[in-house]
Amino acid sequence: MRHGYTNSTVGDGALVVKCYEGPEAEVRLRTESRFLRRLRGRLPVPRVHKITPTSVTTRFVPGEHGQDLLDDGRAAEVLAACGRALAGIHRLGIVHGDYGPQNMLFDPVTFEPVAILDWEWAHPGPPVEDLSWCEWIVRTHHPEHVPLLPRFFEAYRREGGPEVPSWGDRHAAMLSRCRDLLDFTARWEPGGGGEKLWRDRLDTTSAWTA
């Protein structure tokens, strides 16, 4: 899947095999497999087919990738759907850890989520982590759609999510996550391209004012 970066994912139209890369790969594999099994029937997640020491295989879920739909002019629908789905996740007391349209598949007609992917970073935590990261994804990869971010936050609140944190709190959470990923890449390949990328992204995020 071309939007991934901490794993290698391949599929054949029936099954999807995800192999984990980088530091703590085994921990992230166990985390993802645990949450996929725990959340099946409660949230739209792929069905687990097989787990090995290095991979998780799930059933293929047909759907349109969220970031592709943003590029295709469906940002309003996708961001609202992201908000509704995130409220459902947070009602279960879970933080996804890498939440946003980059990790979601949607029905191409209704634009409702059919699969929330990549649970390897999931954990208990404050909602601001997911709210801020989805915003960061839009600001970084789809800046033309920043004016539509209120659709995301409004849908989240209408679906029963807590109050959306202030910009200051969201910005601080973005910076914290960027630092975490900088540390991750520095441990994976010191001085490599990933470390440079996240150092640049941290600098860019630090400069945002609202």
pLDDT in tens, 142-153: 999 999 999 999
Please state the rounded mean pLDDT for residues 3-32: 86
pLDDT grade for 183, boundaries at 50, 70 and 90 = very high
Please state the rounded mean pLDDT for residues 161-168: 94
Report how far Cα 164 is from the mean position of its chain's Cα atoms: 18
Angle (nearest 5°) at CA 84 between 80 and 90: 140
Please state the rounded mean pLDDT for residues 108-134: 97
pLDDT grade for 15, boundaries at 50, 70 and 90 = very high
pLDDT grade for 12, boundaries at 50, 70 and 90 = confident
**pLDDT score of 3:** 37
Model confidence at 196: pLDDT above 90? yes
Rounded Cα gap, residues 200 and 203, in angstroms: 5
* SS3 readout for 67-125: HHHHHCCCHHHHHHHHHHHHHHHHHCCCECCCCCHHHEEECCCCCCEEEECCCCCCECC
Model confidence at 1: pLDDT above 80? no
- pTM given for the model: 0.94
**pLDDT score of 5:** 60
**Tokens 């914290």 belong to which residue?**
176
Burial of residue 172, with CB atoms counted within 10 A of its CB: 0-12 exposed, 13-18 middle, 19 or more buried? middle
